[in-house]
Amino acid sequence: MDHDDIAVQAWESSKSAHHRIDELEAEVKDIRGLTAAMATVNTKVDGLESDVREIKTDVKSISARPVQWWDKLIAGIIGAIGTGVAAAILSLLFK
């Protein structure tokens, strides 16, 4: 091998390396863009998670309302019956 062949091989190798580096730079830019997009999606998912948590809390409180109403109604009925019985007993005692 003479000096010119070595120089040609070095030149070809250099061109090939530059070509591969250019391709890698494009891939790195794509990866950076993907990373930025994922960060945005992650932020939106975190916001969505807090919204879902708030909605679940509201649904639980709304679904608990009828139970509370029934509890109040039953307590009122029991109180009315107790008051009626006590009034009847007192009216019999003080006749």
Q: What DSSP designation does 2 have?
A: -
The residue written with tokens 């250099």 in the block is 14
Q: In residues, how long is the chain? A: 95
H-type helices in the chain, by residue range? 3-93
pLDDT of 34 strictly over 90: yes
Q: What is the pLDDT of residue 1?
A: 61
pLDDT in tens, 44-89: 888 888 888 999 998 888 887 777 788 889 999 999 999 999 999 9
Locate 80 and state its tokens: 């009315």
Average pLDDT on 26-31 reads 91
pLDDT level of residue 28 (50, 70, 90 thresholds):
very high
Q: What is the pTM of this model?
A: 0.44
